[in-house]
Amino acid sequence: MKISVIGAGYVGLVTGTCLAETGSDVVCVDCDRKKIDVLNRGHIPIYEPGLAELVARNVAAGRLHFTADTAAAAKSRIVFLAVGTPPADDGTVDLSALWAAVESLAPHLAENCIVVCKSTVPVGTTARLAERLRQITGREIDVASNPEFLKEGAAIDDFMKPDRVVVGTRSAAVAEALAELYQPYLRTDKPLLVMSPESAEMTKYAANCLLAAKISFINEMANLCERTGADVNEVRRGIGHDGRIGFAFLFPGAGFGGSCLPKDVRALAAFARTQGIEPQLLDAVHEVNERQKRWLAERIEVHFGGKLDKKAIAVWGLSFKPGTDDIRDAPALVLVERLLARGAKLRVHDPVAMENVRKIFGDKLVYCDRSADALVGADALAIVTEWKQFIHPDFEEMKHLMREPAIFDGRNLYDPRRMRAAGFTYYSVGRPPVKAE
């Protein structure tokens, strides 16, 4: 099957590559010519585990192509729209890239083409896309919603082994065509759920907002535990074994970031207001998360009595989560900005995200290729991202390198009792702090 994917970002590149892997002839189209040039030179403009190898294999096999020319979509049976829909200042969704793609694409659509929107868009957008295409082309074009549920850092597995595939269409023929396309990924009896386009669009927002709500909930419980002497990890275990609740997304920390959860919470709240509904829960989810992003900086400030001028702080982890170089809405950025404003000197390390951070902060930070290098002469260590290589460090070496053995753990990586025995002052989320023995 000939497929076109408009947009070669996280979603578009993963989608196109995975579809090529199962034999489709795929062309990825992006208006960013620099990105297309990078891809055509055999490089990947994003970090996603396993993606580079998959792209190379399918390019070599002649199944995957990259271009900036939307005319390349002319003979495609299915065209996916996977362009960015970033947030505006008021939380609403900026659809300008989506509409620009539609305007450019419309003259090249084949007679029997199906346009599938993978971009995260407000409810009703699929219908508006169909109407706009009818206005431009003078004919009816099938438009469906097919939201993505990819996790950065695990996107290939999520596409190849989905929990479910959601298709929003009122056309039996469109549903059948997409069922055929996705059949290789649903061989373990995972469902393809056909529903209205409006329900599919809403499903994407509802899923992300519910996950965000679970994170904000456990973070608020963690803050209460910290005040009362309870241990949030014990509380998490106590509630997670309840089958109605479960453990997923019940990990306290320094707040969530990335390109999806923060944006989608605000976007759904803004959309709710257009429907005359005051989104009290969604607003609270956002506000709790914004407050949680300040947790690390606030604990560091209290520890040093508010005197951070010229204090050396090591920071481990800059990406919003492990497995990606994405720093959009990352809690680490909040920490770095606040500590710099207080006069602290920062030595930072991240396995893959440092170049993206350098573009923002330039020479205001010291960038360290090794996690141990960031600790040299440090008065404290702040852990913001739970990269696996941070889980079992050499604590004796750390203590030797640091000026003061103080750790502020925004991801609860370590056992407080072990940290006390190892001679560290240790702060973690929702658990009583410990002082070095």
Contact yes or no for 85/93 (Cβ under 8 A): yes
Select the CATH number that applies to the domain covering 205-291 from these four: 1.50.10.10, 2.60.40.420, 1.10.760.10, 1.10.1040.10: 1.10.1040.10
CA gap 359, 349 in Å, rounded: 15
Q: How far is the CA of 120 from the CAs of 145, 200, 206, 227, 366, in angstroms?
A: 9, 10, 12, 39, 37
Q: Is 260 a catalytic residue?
A: yes
Residue 151 has which token pair? 């996790």
User: Same CATH topology for 205-291 and 293-434?
Assistant: no
Residue 391 has which token pair? 């889980």
**pLDDT-based confidence at residue 99 (cuts at 50, 70, 90):** very high
Select the CATH number that applies to the domain covering 293-434 from these four: 3.40.50.720, 3.40.50.300, 3.40.50.970, 3.40.50.11610: 3.40.50.720
Residue 66 has which token pair? 């990259």
Pick from 384, 342, 336: nearest CA to 364? 336
| Edge-to-edge strand list for the sheet holding 312-316 | 366-367, 345-349, 312-316, 380-383, 406-409, 425-428, 431-434
CA gap 194, 19 in Å, rounded: 20
Task: State pLDDT tens for residues 312-334.
Answer: 999 999 999 999 999 999 999 99
pLDDT at residue number 169: 98
Q: What is the DSSP string of 176-236?
A: HHHHHHHGGG-TTS--EEEE-HHHHHHHHHHHHHHHHHHHHHHHHHHHHHHHHT--HHHHH
Does the pLDDT value for residue 436 go beyond 90?
no
Task: State pLDDT tens for residues 156-203.
Answer: 999 999 999 999 999 999 999 999 999 999 988 899 999 999 999 999
Please give the backbone phi and psi of residue 432, each rounded to the nearest 5 degrees, phi first: -60, 135
Share of the chain above pLDDT 70, in %: 100
Task: State pLDDT tens for residues 121-159.
Answer: 999 999 999 999 999 999 999 999 999 999 999 999 999
* Pair type for strands 78-81 and 2-6: parallel
Residue 426, SS3 per DSSP? strand
Please give the backbone phi and psi of residue 44, each rounded to the nearest 5 degrees, phi first: -110, 125
pTM score, two decimals? 0.94
CA gap 156, 7 in Å, rounded: 17
* Pair type for strands 431-434 and 425-428: antiparallel
Does the pLDDT value for residue 297 go beyond 90?
yes
- The active-site residue, picked from 28, 225, 260, 368, is 260
CA gap 126, 143 in Å, rounded: 7
Residue 256 has which token pair? 């969530």
Residue 130 has which token pair? 């169909």
Pick from 168, 169, 181, 152: nearest CA to 258? 152
Sorted by where each begins, the domain ranges of the chain are 2-193, 205-291, 293-434
Q: How far is the CA of 394 from the CAs of 3, 323, 411, in angstroms?
A: 50, 22, 18
| pLDDT averaged over every residue in the chain | 97
Which residues 6+ apart lie within 8 Å of 79 measured at CB? 3, 4, 5, 6, 73, 105, 109, 113, 114, 115, 116
Biggest alpha carbon distance in the chain? 77
Average pLDDT for 23-31 = 97
Does the pLDDT value for residue 437 go beyond 80?
no
Distance of CA 11 to the CA centre of its chain: 11
Query: 2-193 has which CATH code?
Result: 3.40.50.720
